[in-house]
Structure 1
Amino acid sequence: MMTCHMRNLIPLVVTYLVLSANLEWNNIILGTAIALGVLALLPGASGERQCRGFLRALPAIFQYVVILGFDLIKSGIQVARIVLSPDMPIRPGIVAVPTDCRSDLGRALSAHAVTLTPGQLVVGIDARGVMYTHCLDVTGALETVSRAQKVRERLLHRIFLSPP
């Protein structure tokens, strides 16, 4: 009988291969390693409970990726406008963004998402989980970054902390 990990591993590897459009052996091995890493991070205990946890997390994973992609495109356009503007309208600064992520993994993934976004960079996280984020333009940045952070936290909670 095929275990839940194997039932989930195969679609993840196939998805990776389709997205990368590369069927070389080293890419297949890399895709398998990434898929195993994703499965190891997902909630659940073992067996069928693990499978149910993965299936519950799938919509949140999809939403997280779509929202992150949208944020990357939107921020990239904003940074391009700033850079291409003759007067470089920037007001750089650091904002403190509180986070409700309780786990180090949740904080790290959230900080990674912020850092991937053009024009923003997490420069530090304190013991309370406050992320200090450098922004190219701090005008309204705290509200924007905090709103995006809340959405990411909600999705990360559904991905990692939902009961199996």
Structure 2
Amino acid sequence: MVPLKSVLALAGRKTPQLGGLPEREIAILRVEPAKQRTNGDQAQTGFSATLAAPSILGALQDWWRCDAPSVARGGVLPVTVAGFVVAVLTGLDRWETNAQGRHRFPDATLAGYVTDLVSPVTRITATTTQGRDLAQLLLATRLPSHSGGPIAYVAAGNAAN
């Protein structure tokens, strides 16, 4: 059971104002709560606020079916669980492509993450002003998206939000 106070706090969460971002759209990585990878690896996949920052980053770096140049142009990859931004990735300028046509961003950095979504409590880990600003803008906000897969796109910049 989720306490009513928590449900009400989340229901009233605002969406971020993305008008200041330079691109017309940004990608969103939609993940599940953390779980063990099924390929025999001991690493996690997904998000958990109980993981340390390096483990969070490792759990979010996977191979995704996406338009890698578009993701890179956006400059930021908000990570959502159930429509709430729980982490923010930056450093997306370079990507790799595997034989299945999936992409990963090996230089991605964790700009910040939430340790408590309801309160909210966030940790900013970015080392650049731009990364800190993006993490502060996005973390613990509601960012709904519609897609059949883990990567979705939302309007930003000078596009209508």
Higher radius of gyration, 1 or 2: 1
Alignment TM-score, normalising by the size of structure 2: 0.25
In the superposition, the TM-score normalised over structure 1's length comes to 0.25
Task: Compare the two structures and name the one with the higher strand fraction.
Answer: 2
Considering Cα pairs closer than 8 Å and 6+ residues apart, tell me whether 1 or 2 has the greater RCO: 2
